[in-house]
């Protein structure tokens, strides 16, 4: 796991390179909106290789070639299949048109560079851990069992922890990739639009609004690579997926399209733009904007700290540095504070309905954190982390 500092450097570098590409090359923010995602993947991969101190064996050329070609065909067909799925499923045709554009571009990159990349990985970066968590090997073993018509063994493989976890991880990734990538598209469009608009007013409110847009863009970019990418070079295999239905329900209800359904029963509270602030004093405007940006910045720093390990309902790696040294769920704390400062800056928000709805959504997010820990407790690394960092949300309280 890279340190939070290295991850922050990667974010700054990725967006700087994307900005330069948009400004000085034919790349268009609306057409090639995914450049920050690709640059960040490249940075994390190179940095992970450079900081890896483990030793690896070198395997024979014949063994490596067979496996590299098999993986190349497997992943090309799988990514191409997802690309077609997004293009033909009625929901994703409307919901994720830009995700399909990104996958199309990635397929071209993979078609050219995928085979030499996989050859290098199989030749020089093979380990027992990677073999045990290799999606290709699991699928290949399953297909062989089905081809031999070994019914009992086939049923066993379907319901074992590893194979069930693999299937669930693919379901999660297929769902969450467009959820995050579509946010990246809109974020790049908005941020580049503001930067390119000479008439934009950088007042206190205007600057705060721009920083919120930029931070949300960073957050969605970090989240998207967590679902999109796994690699031996970065050590970010999906090791296990939470199988508990209630945990899925609590997590999914916080994201589109399920949050729209939940909103029929518990509408998410929003401060009404343009309504009267609690105070008209300039110091209050400045203070509430700074608190809002600080809370959102903390949330983005947390997701950035996770790097490739970001993913709901899955276990990859555990981050123990940065804000994770203070409490076990700093992202939840920062997110709820961000909602609080966004909503309760207005006098109209102090009513029974808004306060009640805010508390309900607080309970949902706190329950989500508890569900996450219930799943992660099965791993010794997380139990050791819990012993070192005792508190979930507030140091010395709970």
Boundary-marking domain end, from 170, 198, 224: 224
Q: How buried is 159 (Cβ within 10 angstroms: 0-12 exposed, 13-18 middle, 19+ buried)?
A: exposed
Res 131 pLDDT > 90: no
Which position has the higher pLDDT, 50 or 201? 50
Cβ contacts of 253 within 8 Å, gap of 6 or more: 259, 261, 262, 364
Give the structural domain span for 27: 4-224
Which position has the higher pLDDT, 191 or 198? 191
Res 182 pLDDT > 90: yes
Residue 367 lies in a domain: yes
Q: Are residues 256 and 378 in the same domain?
A: yes
> Average pLDDT, stretch 81-109?
93
Residue 24 lies in a domain: yes
Q: What is the pLDDT of residues 330-351, one digit of tens each?
A: 999 999 999 999 999 888 888 8
Residue 393 lies in a domain: no
Q: Are residues 220 and 339 in the same domain?
A: no
At 271 the pLDDT is 66
Nearest to 224 by CA among 253, 261, 188, 270: 188
What letters, b where the CB count within 10 A reaches 16 and e where it falls short, cover 165-197?
Answer: bbebbeebbbbbbbbbbbbbbebbebbbeeeee
Residue 235 lies in a domain: no
Q: Are residues 252 and 317 in the same domain?
A: yes
Q: What is the pLDDT of residues 234-265, one digit of tens each?
A: 777 788 899 999 999 999 999 988 888 888 88
The length of the chain, given as a count of residues: 398
The phi, psi pair for 10, rounded to 5°, reads -65, -40
At 266 the pLDDT is 81
Boundary-marking domain end, from 165, 196, 224: 224
What letters, b where the CB count within 10 A reaches 16 and e where it falls short, cover 362-374?
Answer: eeebbebbebbee
Q: What is the pLDDT of residues 192-204, one digit of tens each?
A: 988 887 777 777 7
Residue 244 lies in a domain: yes
Q: What is the pLDDT of residues 276-301, one digit of tens each?
A: 888 888 899 889 989 999 999 999 99
Q: Are residues 12 and 56 in the same domain?
A: yes
* CB count in 10 Å sphere of residue 267: 13
* CB count in 10 Å sphere of residue 355: 14
Res 362 pLDDT > 90: yes
Boundary-marking domain end, from 169, 195, 224: 224
Q: Are residues 142 and 192 in the same domain?
A: yes
Nearest to 332 by CA among 379, 357, 298: 298
Nearest to 299 by CA among 341, 353, 251: 341
Q: Are residues 54 and 144 in the same domain?
A: yes
Q: How buried is 306 (Cβ within 10 angstroms: 0-12 exposed, 13-18 middle, 19+ buried)?
A: buried
Which position has the higher pLDDT, 274 or 92? 92
Q: What is the pLDDT of residues 1-36, one digit of tens each?
A: 778 898 899 999 999 999 999 989 999 999 999 999
What letters, b where the CB count within 10 A reaches 16 and e where it falls short, cover 68-98?
Answer: beebbebeeeebeebbeebeeeeebeebbeb
Q: Are residues 82 and 175 in the same domain?
A: yes
Q: Are residues 284 and 359 in the same domain?
A: yes
Residue 234 lies in a domain: no
| Assigned token pair, 391 | 């508190």
pTM of the model: 0.90
Nearest to 183 by CA among 173, 194, 171, 191: 191
Q: Tokens 């293009």 sit at which residue?
A: 87
Q: Are residues 219 and 244 in the same domain?
A: no
Q: Are residues 275 and 157 in the same domain?
A: no
Total structural domains in the chain?
2
Q: How buried is 140 (Cβ within 10 angstroms: 0-12 exposed, 13-18 middle, 19+ buried)?
A: middle
- Nearest-angstrom CA–CA distance, 83 and 101: 9
- Nearest-angstrom CA–CA distance, 98 and 59: 40
Nearest to 212 by CA among 300, 277, 271: 300
Residue 182 lies in a domain: yes
Count of CA atoms in the C-beta half-sphere (13 A) of 310: 27
Res 151 pLDDT > 80: no
Question: At 141, is the pLDDT very low, low, confident or very high (cuts 50, 70, 90)?
Answer: confident
- Nearest-angstrom CA–CA distance, 292 and 387: 32
Q: Are residues 30 and 115 in the same domain?
A: yes
Mean of per-residue pLDDT scores for the chain: 88
Residue 157 lies in a domain: yes
At 161 the pLDDT is 65
> Average pLDDT, stretch 182-199?
89
Q: Are residues 204 and 262 in the same domain?
A: no
């Amino acid at each position: 796991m890279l340190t939070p500092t290295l991850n922050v450097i990667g974010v700054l570098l990725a967006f700087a390179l994307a900005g330069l590409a948009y400004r000085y090359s034919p790349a268009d923010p609306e057409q090639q909106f995914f450049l920050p995602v690709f640059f960040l993947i490249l940075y994390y991969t190179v940095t992970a290789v450079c900081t890896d101190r483990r030793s690896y064996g070198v395997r024979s050329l014949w063994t490596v070639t067979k496996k590299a070609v098999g993986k190349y065909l497997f992943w090309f067909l799988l990514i191409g299949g997802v690309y077609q799925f997004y293009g033909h499923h009625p929901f994703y045709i409307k919901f994720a048109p830009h995700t399909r554009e990104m996958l199309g571009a990635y397929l071209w990159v993979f078609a050219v560079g995928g085979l030499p990349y996989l050859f290098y990985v199989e030749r020089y970066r093979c380990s027992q851990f990677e073999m045990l968590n290799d999606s290709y090997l699991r699928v290949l073993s399953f297909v062989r069992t089905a081809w031999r018509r070994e019914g009992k063994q086939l049923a066993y493989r379907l319901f074992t922890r590893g194979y069930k976890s693999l299937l669930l991880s693919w379901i999660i990734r297929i769902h969450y990739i467009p959820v995050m990538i579509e946010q990246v598209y809109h974020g790049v469009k908005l941020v580049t639009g503001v930067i390119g608009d000479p008439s934009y007013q950088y007042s206190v409110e205007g600057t705060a609004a721009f920083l919120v847009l930029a931070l949300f863009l960073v957050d969605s970019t970090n989240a998207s690579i967590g679902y999109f990418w796994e690699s031996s070079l970065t050590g970010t295999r999906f090791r296990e997926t939470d199988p508990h239905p209630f945990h899925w329900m609590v997590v999914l209800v916080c994201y589109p399209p399920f949050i729209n359904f939940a909103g029929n029963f518990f509408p998410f509270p929003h401060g009404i733009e343009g309504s009267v602030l609690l105070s008209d004093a300039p110091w209050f405007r400045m203070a509430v904007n700074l608190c809002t940006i600080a809370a959102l910045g903390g949330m983005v720093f947390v997701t950035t700290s996770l790097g490739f390990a970001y993913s709901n309902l899955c276990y990859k790696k555990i981050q123990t540095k940065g804000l994770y040294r203070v409490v076990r769920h700093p992202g939840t704390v920062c997110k709820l504070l961000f909602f609080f400062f966004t909503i309760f800056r207005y006098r109209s928000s102090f009513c029974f309905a808004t306060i009640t709805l805010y508390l309900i959504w607080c309970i949902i997010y706190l329950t989500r954190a508890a569900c996450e820990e219930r799943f992660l407790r099965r791993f010794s690394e997380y139990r050791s982390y819990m012993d070192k960092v005792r508190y979930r949300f507030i140091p010395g309280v709970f």
